Structure 1
Amino acid sequence: MASLDLDTPWLYSSIESFDGSLNIHIEEVNSADSLDSVDNSKSIVNYSRNIPKPPPLPAKICQKTNNQRWLADSCNVPKETKDLWDRLFKEGFAADVHIITENDSVIPAHYIVLCVASPVLKNFLEQSKPRNGIRYIKIPGLPYNAIYVFIRFLYSSCYDEGEMEKFVLHLLVLSHSYSVPSLKKVCAHLLEQHWLMTENVIDVLQLAKKCDVPRLSLSCVRMIVKDFKTISSTEGWKVMKRANPSLEQELLESVVEVDSRKQERLKKIEEKRVYLQLDEAMEALLHICKEGCRTIGPCDKVLKESQISCSFPACKGIETLVRHFSSCKMRVPGGCTQCKRMWQLLELHSRMCSEPDFCKVPLCRHFKEKMQQQSKKDEAKWKLLVSKVITAKNALGPFKLRRSGFS
């Protein structure tokens, strides 16, 4: 049985890596040579008159939820519409914007689509001056294919999975830089569910923080904390340690915090286990003193050693304590450890007993009278212990499971 001393505290991946910068910007093309290269590259219900209409049904919260769900369903865009917008982008029909990427490659687009899809692009395009009816902008620093996938998404929200996986980091940067939250959501989900590994989680975390993706950042931190020993030895961690020491400190603090919470949780679990054992001990003690158990019980009960095993698994431990207590020559508080436990169990029972005048547990009434003489400090300790035992017992509910025994 756990000690009941009142002085003790019961109481990386094969996908192309991203090394671009978040300093993405657009440049208006002013060079005539550049323009030349661009030009060359291109029910009704019927009621009886005698029966009045029934009053409307009372409004319900669930009706609002159903309406919201119906509105969401009614906004689904059919595949034909997506294909139409996808075709408009790929064919570049009547395009009035030319997006220039690396190596002077050109992606035709439409002014109105870009303005509606991205407030950042809208702001720049509104300030740019068209030449021969076409506006020219340049997005340097990123691969042509990544920008192509990005512009296509602005039209139809469509993308090829292979291209998305290959350029997901670039697309995350583009979606953040040009304020396209729907694309950012797709990129974050892909990274979180299919891309995170111990070798790249540090890099993804830094990018997620710069692109303001809190959920992805949280997933990265959880992964780092869970496998800190392995991740802290990766090359990504070493680079981050030199370039971003504040992030390293933040991650170390997260590891310490999680470990502290774990220790605190284990401590509470152990405390609860002890309080449940005490509750079982109280039941076993009352059972022995009132009904008897095998070879030990009250004097007015006939005991049979061969009787069926007791349903109180804690009885064996309590029986051992009682037998020792009855024969120990040091049977005083503060004496041997086993006697001290017995005294504490008896006093705890007395404090939990509601019928001391009829109780058959020895010294129950004696301890009731002793309470009046105890100091406020001792009284507070016992009240706290009783409260903890009762709380642990009530937490089990009506389907209380017995433990294998009382140790």
Structure 2
Amino acid sequence: MLLTFWFGIWRQLQASASPVLERMIDRARRGWGADCTIRVLGVSFDAVRAFLHFLYSAKVAPEEEELVGAHGAQLLALAHAYRVGWLKRAAEAAVSARLTPERAVDMLKLARLCDARRLYLRCARLAAKDFSAVERSDGWRFARRHDAALQLELLQLLEDADQRKERWARERAAQEACRQLGEAMASLDHIFPSDGPARGDAPCDKAGCTCRGLQLLMRHFATCARKAAPGGCARCKRMLQLFRLHASVCDRPDKACRVPLCR
């Protein structure tokens, strides 16, 4: 596409947010008041017209968001090429909001070329979430046949996403185990207070207290005949581990702690 600018328009664009276009017009101009022509290739006429409109207005009005969405990918490429940062961010957000699994591979490649990190991550998350739909897209079939690097990159992103999920699952499980151990230790301190008699099997009157389950487990530990048997009792082993954990962290004086097996 050919764009023809006159000097007055060039002065207006000079104050705009596109230093690249400003330099191109400056080089193409042949004299004071002369017009100049710049070629804009690879995008549609409507996308270029929308790009120039946003350059002149220097903002995206709320009623113009649909226009950005209609030409989002092309506006992103133009804004990146001509270094219009605010329009690039708006186009990137519009493309991310309208992203589908069928376009994920194409937009991933565009995001890589345009250094659009937000869109890149959005494509990666969508591919990890619905890879079966991505595999059926034309973009994936093209990458598999003609762009092995892009295919490998996407597969690596999926593998990284799976590893992150596994790591987060392990971390959540560890946090849950620590929480349960903390509650169990607090219940031991509640059942065997340092400033009063042991509660034993007496029901707890404290709201929200979880010591009843631990009381039942200790009753089982005291009467279970399988503790000394080969293989032992799984419930008794858990109780014994809890007693040992308490003994390792207990800071009470030796005779002040009534928890079994503590020192």
TM-score range, shorter chain: 0.7 to 0.9
Out of 145, 150, 155, the position equivalent to 2:51 is 150
CA distance in 2, matches of 1:154, 1:96: 16
Amino acid at match of 1:111: W
Amino acid at match of 2:133: T
Deviation of 1:324 after TM superposition, in Å, equals: 4.1
Deviation of 1:116 after TM superposition, in Å, equals: 4.1
Identity %: 30
- Mapped contact 1:203–1:236 kept (Cα < 8 A): yes
Q: Does 1:358 align with 2:261?
A: no
User: Any idea what the Cα deviations from partners look like across 1:299-335, whole Å, max 9, x if unmatched?
Assistant: xxxxxxxx67676434334434434434527548974
Q: Does 1:206 align with 2:109?
A: yes
| Paired position in structure 1 for 2:96 | 192
| 1:242-257 superposed matches below 5 A | 242-257=145-160
> Aligned Cα RMSD in Å?
3.5
The range that moved more, 198-207 or 240-249, is 240-249
| 1:83-98 superposed matches below 5 A | 96=6
CA distance in 1, matches of 2:47, 2:119: 21
Which structure has the higher relative contact order (CA within 8 Å, separation 6+)? Answer: 1
Distance 1:212 1:264, change over 3 A: closer
TM-score (norm 1): 0.52
CA distance in 2, matches of 1:156, 1:119: 16
Deviation of 1:235 after TM superposition, in Å, equals: 2.3
User: Any idea what the Cα deviations from partners look like across 1:137-167, whole Å, max 9, x if unmatched?
Assistant: 3434443333222223332236755544333
| Paired position in structure 2 for 1:241 | 144
CA distance in 2, matches of 1:219, 1:189: 10
TM-score (norm 2): 0.76
- Mapped contact 1:293–1:310 kept (Cα < 8 A): no
| 1:153-164 superposed matches below 5 A | 153-157=54-58, 163-164=67-68
Amino acid at match of 2:6: D
| 1:93-108 superposed matches below 5 A | 96=6
Q: Does 1:340 align with 2:262?
A: no
CA distance in 2, matches of 1:358, 1:332: 32
Distance 1:210 1:331, change over 3 A: same
Q: Secondary structure at the match of 2:245?
A: helix
- Mapped contact 1:334–1:340 kept (Cα < 8 A): no
User: Any idea what the Cα deviations from partners look like across 1:192-235, whole Å, max 9, x if unmatched?
Assistant: 23x21122122122112212222222222222223233223322
CA distance in 1, matches of 2:224, 2:47: 86
Q: Does 1:275 align with 2:174?
A: no
Amino acid at match of 2:199: G
Distance 1:183 1:332, change over 3 A: same
Q: Does 1:173 align with 2:88?
A: no
User: Any idea what the Cα deviations from partners look like across 1:89-132, whole Å, max 9, x if unmatched?
Assistant: xxxxxx626xxxxxxxxxxx723234443333333333335388
Q: Which has the higher helix share?
A: 2
- Mapped contact 2:204–2:212 kept (Cα < 8 A): no
| 1:51-130 superposed matches below 5 A | 96=6, 110-117=9-16, 118-128=18-28, 130=30
Q: Secondary structure at the match of 1:364?
A: coil
Amino acid at match of 2:168: R
Q: Secondary structure at the match of 1:200?
A: helix
Gaps of 5+ in 1: 1-23, 28-37, 39-94, 98-108, 296-306, 366-407
Q: Does 1:221 align with 2:124?
A: yes
Gaps of 5+ in 2: none
CA distance in 1, matches of 2:229, 2:190: 24
Deviation of 1:188 after TM superposition, in Å, equals: 1.6
Larger Rg: 1
Q: Secondary structure at the match of 2:102?
A: coil
Distance 1:363 1:222, change over 3 A: closer
CA distance in 1, matches of 2:206, 2:22: 81
Amino acid at match of 2:19: P
| 1:12-31 superposed matches below 5 A | none
- Mapped contact 2:124–2:154 kept (Cα < 8 A): yes
CA distance in 2, matches of 1:276, 1:141: 58
- Mapped contact 2:198–2:258 kept (Cα < 8 A): no
